Structure formats: structure tokens, C-alpha cells
Structure 1
Amino acid sequence: MTATVDVGLFGPDSVSWQLHAEPAMWLAGIRSLYLQALHPRTVAGVVQNSDFRRDPLGRLVRTANFVGATTYCPTGEVHEHAARVRRVHRELRAVDPETGQRYRVDDPELLLWVHCAEVSSFLSVVRRAGFPLTAAHADRYLDEQRRAAALVGLDPDEVPGDVAAMRAYLTARRPLLRRTAGSDEIYAFLHRPPVTGWLALGVRVYEPLVGHLAYSLLPPWATRVYGHRAYPDVVATPMLRGLSGAVRAAQLTARTLIHDPRLGPLVPHPVLAVNRLGTWARPSARRLPS
């Protein structure tokens, strides 16, 4: 490696580089959508502006691609992706269904909630899946993710940068969170997305193995707000680890086959980063900083 290599926003020596390549990130992403939807204004912004009913997988894939791009792309591409997201959010408005007040979806309070729901879900689920993160790694990850928060327009100094600060933030937000018609719609959608064709054949498998499992990875207070029973921990954790292991095995099989980003809507950013930088940059628990 030379000093001129552009390793992106975080680089291969970061916690983010290792954590974001883990297969449990898929369940973590869905878990974060459940959590985000408990904020009434956040979920109203999604329901009123998103095309998720017509494009069931679109939002999850776009979120995964954005996280992948900001983690693994060269710095210039990272800022291009971020500028597009900010430009879209800048134009969006929503109406509070309770007060009738019109508001911007890029309100910093809402952006901060979405960021914290995402990164706390990523950290919680990947650790629960067995990824060997220490307390120091967890703090470092949240500190790194302040850079990602800045990309969507947040002041990094106002974003929780360690586990204690994140826990305090989430605790402070709990009185604002509640079950609404919007959260019920997201709950139903994430359990049984309205896909058609051959994808519809997999919904019966998806619902218990992905949709409800991701829901069950929420903290108990969140499932109480939703009012639906979750899998007990003694069921959810082995399911999470088994599913993550199966996906990891599939990734290892497919890794050498992926050389081009033009493979469809989901871009394999970690693999493309290794193709660009070399095998030394391959994400691994063994590369976690000491």
C-alpha cells in the first residue's frame, strides 16, 4: 500500500470497515427500520414520501447501498453519494398527522434519530451475532460513525460518540416514541412485504426467518410499544447466529465471482473495495484494531 491510496472515509483499519461487511447487517438494517418507525414524525415522513408499497425492497436496498458506499468507496464517491441523499431529503416535506403541522424530513432532530436508530442497531445486532467486538471497539465504532452522520448534514459534535452517550440518547427519546398507524403499517410491511412473482414464493420463509426475527432483536421496551410478541432471546439469538453463518458461507462462495458493480440493485461494496485495494483490505474480525 502507498500513501496515495484513497481508502475512503474510514479505511481498512477501522471498526466500521470490519463490522459493515458482516452478514448480520441485513437483519440489523431491518431492525433499525422497526426502531425508526416508533418516532411519529419519522414514520410519517416515510409513509408520506416513500414508494415502499410499490417498490417493497427499494428502501432497504438503497439504505444498504448508501451504508456500503460511504464505508468502502473512495472519498470523492462517498461525498457524491452523500450530496445526492442530501439533495433528495432537502426537497421532502411531511405533515404531522396529529397537529397538521408541515415539516422538513431533513430536520436535524429527525436525521439524528434515524442515524442513532441505524448505528445502534448495527452495533447491537452484529455483536449479538457473535462478532468479537470489545467495549473499546463499540465506542470506537460509534465515534467513527460521527463521520457518516456529518454526510447527511448533522454536526458530528452533537452525535453520540460512545456507548454511554448512545444509551443516554435513546433513553431520552423514549417518551417521544409510540405506536401509530404509521408504525403499524411498517410492522406489517416488514413482516410481509407485498412482493409479486417468484419473490412471493419466499415470503412464507422470509416472515419467520427475517421479518419477525429482526423485530425480535429490538430491545424489550420497543416490542412492548409495538404490542406484538417477539421470539424469546433463547430462540432469537441462535436463529440470528445460524442465519448469519449461512449467509457468510454463501458470501465466501460468491466472493471470487464478483468483479463488476453492474450486477443489479444491490452493490457488493466490500468485495469491490477489496478488488480495488487488494486482498490486504479484506474485512475480517482479525483486522479489528487492538
Structure 2
Amino acid sequence: MGWNDSAVHLEMPVPDGGLFGPDSASWQVLGERTVILGGMRALLMHAAHPLVAAATAQTGTFESDPWGRHRRTLELTYTLVFGARAEAVGAARRINAAHRSVRGVDPLTGMAYAATDPDLLLWVHASLVSSFLLYERLTVGALDPAGRQRFCAEWVLLARLLGVPAGRVPSTPDRVDAWVDAVTASGVLRPTDGSTLLAAIIRRSAKGLYGVKLRAAAFLALHTLPPSLRDLYGVNHHRVDQRLLDALCAAIRIGRRGLPERTRLTPPAVAARARTLRIAQPGQAG
């Protein structure tokens, strides 16, 4: 199922605020640099699903260039969330077009897969939503329950644009968590070549090859996984790890308060806000 312009109602609170606009929960959440680190956690979740891993490996990038895939996933997410309407719609169409040619049989499980399978799309979707909301809570803490609800509701639109039937998309935080719990309890998740390589790269980062910031990001990604996935990746999470996790997140929350907006926010968020301001107040644009 591809994107259908007549099937999805798109509102623009500010002219060319894209799919959501500056007052949306999506702009608030994805605008924070620390929240974007949740993409690394989501990538680990994706890699643990053998059919998602097989579909991604068909492009030849999952095992050979995991960080490149992470970067491209974030770039597409930024375009969908912060891009002007035409940019976001165009990105969704390109993703759908690429997905249509990705299908085959997973050599690990012997199961057929297709990148357009709603179940696989929902696992990718729920992994991202749960990770971004978790990192917002841990590293920012500005979103109230109503805001978390709005975020999930807004991302129903993104899932629909990417081919998931509307009635199947979890539209509340509880439903997103329930979907993640159901998949992790189903027994389908398991180690794959892609997940093993990705975990090894992240563990090398955690041991200090790439600097303090990346070590902290790697620690967060591994130790914020659902318990069953921590076990799948061989992550030992003890009380001392939880205390370190709590202390690290508290330090990030406190530290971000003193940062200027252009340092705290992601470049796509800054650019999108500037774009909507220029359109709303053309005579005052600099």
C-alpha cells in the first residue's frame, strides 16, 4: 500500500509547517538532540527481528554500513517530521517505492518477508516511537501525558503514509508498549548476523574507541532495551548499571537546561522553525 493523498488529511498549523507544524508534539520531541539518540536503541530493536534484518540486508547496507543506515533513517525521519509538505510527501513516496522491490525468503528462519508487510512496518514504527518517547522522558522530561498521547497520535499519520492500515497503528503510548511487548514475547526476535555485528560495533564504542559522548550513547542504547532484548544481546544489567543509567540521564536533563536553543535543538528543527517564521512574517525575514 502506498501513499494516497485523498486518504490522509494533512493539517498545516503554520503555512508549510509540513505534516505537523511548530506546535506539534513531534516537533517538540524530535527537535531535541538527546532524543535522537533513541534511534540507536530502535536500530538494535529492528536488527533483532530476523525478517526486518533480512529485508534490510537485501539493500546491502545493514551489515556493511550500520551507522550509515542509522544516519539515513534519521535523515528520512527528519524530512517526514520537519520537511515542508512537498518534501515530506516526496520522502514517503520514495520510501514506499523502495519497499515494493524488497522481498524474499529469510535464510535464518525460512520465512518469506516483504518490506511492505504491515507487521514488519509496525515493528519498525513501534520501535522508533517507544525509543523516542523513552529518551524524551529520560533526557528531557518536558512532555506531559497529553503530549505523549499527541506524539503517538501524530505518528499514526506517518505509519499510514508508509502503508500501514490506520486501524492497525497503535495510537497511544500504552498501545505502543503493548505492541512492543507482544512482539518481544512472541519468540520471533533472535540474534541475526546484522544484530550481532551492530552490537559488536556498539560495544567497541562503549569500550572507548570513539570518545566519551559515543560511549555514553552506546551505554544508553544497550541498557535501555527491553529486558528480553538485553538478554538477546547479552547485556548484563545490574543495580550498578541502573544507578549509572539514572545518573547519566539526570546529568543530561540538568545539563541541557543551560544550553542555547541552537545547541540543544537538532539542525532540522532549527531550520524548520526558521522556514515557518519566514513564511508567516515575510516582511521581517532576515
Which of the five TM-score ranges fits, normalised by the shorter chain? 0.7 to 0.9
1:153 maps to which residue? 163
Aligned counterparts of 1:107 and 1:248: Cα–Cα separation in 2: 42
Instruction: Please say which of residues 24-33 and 130-139 is displaced more in the overlay.
Output: 130-139
Q: Percent identity?
A: 32
Correspondence list, 1:157-236, <5 A: 157-174=167-184, 175-182=186-193, 183-192=195-204, 203=210, 205=212, 208-230=215-237, 232-236=241-245
- Unaligned ranges ≥5, structure 1: 194-200, 257-266, 282-290
TM-score, normalised with respect to structure 1? 0.79
1:268 maps to which residue? 267
**1:17–1:4 Cα change, 3 Å:** closer
Aligned-pair distance for 1:253?
A: 5.4
Is 1:46 the counterpart of 2:56? The answer is yes
Aligned counterparts of 1:235 and 1:58: Cα–Cα separation in 2: 29
Aligned counterparts of 2:251 and 2:13: Cα–Cα separation in 1: 40
* Residue identity opposite 1:60 in structure 2: H
Aligned-pair distance for 1:26?
A: 2.7
SS at 2:37 equivalent: helix
1:81 maps to which residue? 91
* Residue identity opposite 2:220 in structure 1: L
Aligned counterparts of 2:20 and 2:262: Cα–Cα separation in 1: 26
2:19 maps to which residue? 9
Aligned counterparts of 2:164 and 2:62: Cα–Cα separation in 1: 25
SS at 2:32 equivalent: coil
- Unaligned ranges ≥5, structure 2: 1-11, 281-286
* Residue identity opposite 1:181 in structure 2: T
**1:92 corresponds to which of 80, 102, 105:** 102
**2:150 corresponds to which of 134, 140, 144:** 140
SS at 2:113 equivalent: strand
Aligned counterparts of 2:248 and 2:16: Cα–Cα separation in 1: 38
Aligned-pair distance for 1:240?
A: 3.3
* Residue identity opposite 2:226 in structure 1: P
TM-score, normalised with respect to structure 2? 0.80
CA RMSD of aligned residues (A): 3.0
Aligned counterparts of 2:38 and 2:187: Cα–Cα separation in 1: 22
**1:155–1:113 Cα change, 3 Å:** same
* Number of aligned residue pairs: 263
1:264 maps to which residue? none
2:124 maps to which residue? 114
**1:222–1:56 Cα change, 3 Å:** closer
Residues 130, 241 of structure 1: 8 Å contact kept? no
Aligned counterparts of 1:128 and 1:50: Cα–Cα separation in 2: 34
SS at 2:108 equivalent: coil
Residues 46, 127 of structure 2: 8 Å contact kept? yes
Is 1:277 the counterpart of 2:255? The answer is no
**1:83–1:251 Cα change, 3 Å:** farther
**1:223–1:74 Cα change, 3 Å:** same
Aligned-pair distance for 1:242?
A: 3.3
Instruction: Please say which of residues 132-141 and 81-90 is displaced more in the overlay.
Output: 132-141
Aligned-pair distance for 1:30?
A: 0.3
Residues 32, 264 of structure 2: 8 Å contact kept? no
